[in-house]
Amino acid sequence: MKFARRFSLFTTVMAFVVLFQGILVVATEAGDACGTDWPFCNGSVIPDFSDPLIFIEYTHRIVVGMFGFVVLANFLVALRVSKGDRAIRRFAGGSVFFLLATAGAGGMNVLLETPPGFTVLDIIAGLCLLGSLISLTIALRRKPVVAEVGARGSGSERQCSDDQKLSQPSILVLAMVLVEMVVGAFFKHSAASEVLMGIELSERLVESMVISQYLYFFHAILGTVILVSVAYILFLATHFRQLVGAAYLLVGLVLTEMFIGFTMLMSKLPVLFSSLHMIVTLTIFSTGTYIAAKAKLKDTFEVAAVEEKAGVVVSSGDGRKAPIQLRQEPGLE
């Protein structure tokens, strides 16, 4: 189990690195540097790395290829130790599904020579893959707790209620962050941002100033709603004394993202601020996923104890069983 936890954490960190590379590819517009002969680069297995754009794009392709095998290996390791745990199986299966979706969207992106707006599909699949891996890592770190017969009382119910009060708004905020990222990505990759600022481009998916303004205002309003919502999550976290550090980090990241977004608009979208904006937004999504998964899954999962011949067998209710040591009370010999 210890190896499974560490390997899942490694896979999650690698996913973040792959997405960071993708941000760099988009920011430098290196996506077309290797042409359309994916998975090679301009017809070569070892291209001319003297061109920095080729180096950025081709190393991204290599790392993505390696990452695919790592995710599949992580899936198999997780299944081996799951012993029927539905949460582990669900997130492990989701990681493979979104890996295939990401590979398909990325491959089509290259073959179609990065059409305006199409990159959004790649971003959605990549974010869902990252979210699945973060949740899987947290699910693997949970520990079973044996529930005593008849001991499920007000204390346990109150703890469950407290967890729900934090998990439900956290999941809602995470959904809003995902929508905001998708809208922001579409706003940029459809060239709506350039239309809003009067920058001429040869390829545009959105050419209407009205649509560009609607997208921008919706993105800004949603960002404000998210700021209020994460402030509420911070209030809940401090009240219930759960995930306080992560909640403070989330609020700080949202404020930073809003500041960078405003600076981007004022400075005509330079590469530096555009990259920083996407990195901070990616970190917001990762932190939000962590809070939502921790609040929903908790640090432990409750299992029932049923008596069998030589002792007690722990049953998780989903098919996983493991013998536990019976503790003998004094005076009962």
Residue 323 is encoded by which pair of tokens? 């013998």
Taking residues 220-246, what's their average pLDDT? 91
- Report the 10 Å Cβ neighbour count for 160: 13
Q: How is residue 52 written in tokens?
A: 């920095």
Q: Tokens 């993105």 label which residue?
A: 219
Cα separation, 298 vs 292, whole angstroms? 10
Residues 248-263: b if buried by 16+ CB within 10 A, e if exposed: ebbbebbebbbebbee
pLDDT score of 160:
54
Query: In this structure, which amino acid lies at residue 317?
Result: G
* Amino acid at position 94, single letter: G
Over residues 31-54, the pLDDT tens digits come to: 677 776 666 777 777 777 777 888
Model confidence band, residue 135 (pLDDT cutoffs 50, 70, 90): very high
What pLDDT is attached to residue 130? 93
DSSP letter (8 states) at residue 306 = E
* Integer Cα distance of 310 and 285 in angstroms: 48
- Residues belonging to the chain: 333
Measure CA 140 to chain center: 16
pLDDT tens digits along 305-329: 554 444 444 444 444 455 544 444 4
CA distances from 202 to 131, 191, 269 (A): 35, 10, 17
pLDDT bucket at 1, cuts 50 / 70 / 90: confident
The one-letter amino acid code at 108 reads M
- Sheet order of strands, 311-315 included: 143-147, 300-308, 311-315, 321-324
- CB-CB contact of 167 with 296 (8 Å): yes
Q: CB count, 10 Å around CB of 76?
A: 10
Residue extents of the structural domains in the chain: 1-141, 154-300
- Bigger pLDDT: 55 or 256? 256
**What are the pLDDT digits (tens) for 174-228?**
999 888 888 877 777 666 666 565 555 545 555 667 777 777 788 888 889 999 9
State the residue for tokens 């491959």.
107
Q: What is the pLDDT of residue 317?
A: 45
Which residues 6+ apart lie within 8 Å of 174 measured at CB?
131, 285, 288, 289, 291, 292
**Distance set, CA 276 to CA 83, 189, 258, 317 (Å):** 41, 16, 11, 45
DSSP helix/strand/coil, 149: coil
Q: How far apart are the first and last CA of the chain?
A: 36
Exposed/middle/buried for 236, CB within 10 Å: 0-12, 13-18, 19+? buried
| Spatial contact of 130 and 285, defined as CB atoms under 8 Å apart | yes
What's this model's pTM, rounded to 2 decimal places? 0.78
> Which residues, 6 or more positions from 301, have their beta carbon under 8 angstroms from its beta carbon?
85, 87, 142, 143, 144, 145, 316
What is the DSSP secondary structure assignment for residue 329, as one 8-state letter? P
Is the per-residue pLDDT at 235 higher than 90?
A: yes
Amino acid at site 305: A
pLDDT at 247 over 90: yes
